[in-house]
Homo-oligomer: A and B are copies of this chain.
Amino acid sequence: MALIVQKFGGSSVSDAAAMKRVAARVARTHKDGNQVVVVVSAMGDTTDDLLDLAGQVTDEPPAREMDILLTAGERISMALLAMAIDREGVPARSYTGQQAGVMTDSKYGRASIVGVAPDRIVRTLKEGQVAIVAGFQGVSGANDVTTLGRGGSDTTAVAIAAALHADVCEIYTDVDGVFSADPRVVPNARRIPVLSTEETLELASHGAKILHLRAVEFARRYNVPLHVRSSFSELDGTIVRNPTEEDPMEEPIIAGVAHDRSQGKVTIVGVKDIPGSASRVFSVLAGAEANIDMIVQNPPTDRQGVTDISFTAPKEGIPALVAALEAHRAEIGFEEIQHIENVGIVSLVGAGMRTNTGVSATLFGALSDAGINIEMISTSEIRISVVTLPEKLDDAVRAIHSAFDLDSQDVEAVVYGGTGR
């Protein structure tokens, strides 16, 4: 008998029929002798509908009330799912974040979980019932309702799995697992059976829409094995977990290729090459709440005493960042600012890179053979990222995927989409 946390996103419970399909799966897991905790998101478009209602009432909704409003969505889905599971002959009880003991700080709209007190869930499981918990929500120290922001339901699931020392946290989505590349770009991408949390973090933070970073961070820190699976199929999915001593010494070198179309690029030309320049630049950017991804400082070449600093950031934020930098031109000291609103970033990720040389040579060779120009490069211990022109991004992904022999023989990928909130 195992203790299993199952998380179902909004697309898995979009209507009554989907709800019944999920209920059947939960009931089967329970009947197989497991203890089951279900974390559920709001049904399909519920959240958008509620946002729309709020927009009809006011342009500036107070954050506290917005959180109360949005959490109605999970309240509806959790109660309906409990009914549907009950109909399968399995007793089920649903709990709000507050009832489930999901304690957060009081940052409405983007609260962080500070602890889980799962007493009621433990009691529910002991009584042989399925516990259903509203994802995405918690309760602050002042007994106020909070929401966890993007990736909230995944994070709820992992936090509860951690608190209960669950054997596994299954993340059900509309994708059959994590793939070696986005199958919409690389049709013969293959499913990755096992992935380390570290690799998953690198893939997810570089555009692979598989799991939310926060949830993976949580899973890594509390050592919770994740199982990413489709709620529409019985395929094996992908296990995401911290490496153990029993793992083979030699891991596969490469896990997969991620790509990201959401970034733009800014270059600050002619920054004085003296100590403190970069610091001033990035303190200005931090003040503008920039979410900087890659940073590259080109060494000065033909020009005396000046350098160029380039960085990428989400494209919708670029104009504000450029304005913030211009406003501090005198203080920072630079010649001009150039920006491209839209770039492509392709990233190769693999824990085996640490101990294998030649990876970057193969990568740059593949891009060169495909005639793709490199705009910018950045690396971590287990990742190499390259900025390209946006129209060359798909070619870059395919070239790299082939160069590292990631192409699958049989096409397993059926559906590939975004994850729920």
Residues in chain A within 8 A of chain B (CB atoms): 15-16, 19-20, 50, 53-54, 56-62, 64-66, 68-69, 71-73, 75-76, 78-80, 82-84, 86-87, 92-94, 96, 98-99, 120, 143-145
In the complex the two chains form, is B82's CB within 8 Å of A53's CB?
A: no
A60 partner residues in chain B, CB cutoff 8 A: 86-87
CB distance from A108 to the nearest CB of B (A): 12
The one of B80, B87, B144, B145 in contact with A69, judged by C-beta atoms closer than 8 angstroms, is B80
Q: In the complex, are the beta carbons of B80 and A54 less than 8 A apart?
A: yes
Q: Is the CB of A65 within 8 A of B83?
A: yes
A99 touches B16 (CB 8 A): no
B93–A57 touching, CB < 8 Å: no
Contacts of A50 on B, CB cut-off 8 Å? 76
Contact check, B86 vs A62: say whether CB atoms are below 8 A apart. yes
Determine if B69 and A76 form an interchain contact, defined as CB atoms under 8 angstroms apart: yes
CA–CA, A62 to B16, complex, Å?
16
A53, A54, A58, A93 — most chain B CB neighbours (10 Å): A58
Residues of B within 8 A of A79 (CB): 54, 65-66, 68-69, 72
The verdict on A61 contacting B83 (CB below 8 Å), with A68-B94, A98-B98, A143-B99 known, is yes
Taken together as a complex, chains A and B put the C-alpha atoms of A71 and B78 apart, in Å, by: 12
CA–CA, A56 to B16, complex, Å?
Answer: 6
Complex Cα–Cα for A369 and B18 (A): 65
- Evaluate contact between A68 and B78: CB separation under 8 angstroms: yes
Given contact pairs A64-B93, A75-B75, A57 touches B69 in the complex (Cβ within 8 A): no
Copies of the polypeptide in the assembly: 2
Contact yes or no, B57 A68, CB < 8 A: no
Residue in B19, B58, B96 whose beta carbon sits within 8 Å of that of A86 in the complex: B58
A94 CB contacts on chain B under 8 angstroms? 65, 68
- Given the interface contacts A20-B57, A53-B16, A62-B86, does A71 sit within 8 Å of B80 by beta carbon? no
Residue of B nearest to A98 (CB): B98
Q: From known contacts A60-B87, A86-B58, infer whether A80 and B53 are also in contact, taking CB-CB under 8 Å.
A: yes
A57 touches B16 (CB 8 A): yes
CA–CA, A94 to B57, complex, Å? 15
The 9 closest A-B pairs by CB, nearest first: A16-B56, A69-B79, A68-B79, A58-B87, A65-B82, A72-B75, A72-B72, A61-B83, A65-B79
A368 to chain B, nearest CB (A): 56
CB distance from A50 to the nearest CB of B (A): 7
| A19-B57, A57-B20, A143-B99 given; A76·B87 CB < 8 A | no
**Chain B residues closer than 8 Å to A87, beta-carbon distance:** 57-60
Contacts of A59 in B (CB 8 A): 87
The docked-state distance in angstroms from the alpha carbon of A65 to that of B93 is 7
CB pair B86 A65 closer than 8 Å: yes
Contacting pair A83 B98 (CB below 8 A)? no
In the assembled complex, the Cα of A92 lies from the Cα of B65 at a distance in Å of 9
Give the shortest distance, in Å, between A38 (CB) and chain B (any CB).
13
**In the complex, chain B residues whose CB is within 8 Å of the CB of A144:** 99
How near does chain B come to A150, taking the closest CB pair, in angstroms? 20
Complex CA gap A83/B15 in Å reads 29
Shortest distance in angstroms between A59's beta carbon and chain B's nearest beta carbon? 8
User: In the docked arrangement, what's the CA distance between A86 and B54, Å?
Assistant: 12
Alpha-carbon gap, A61 to B84, bound state (A): 8
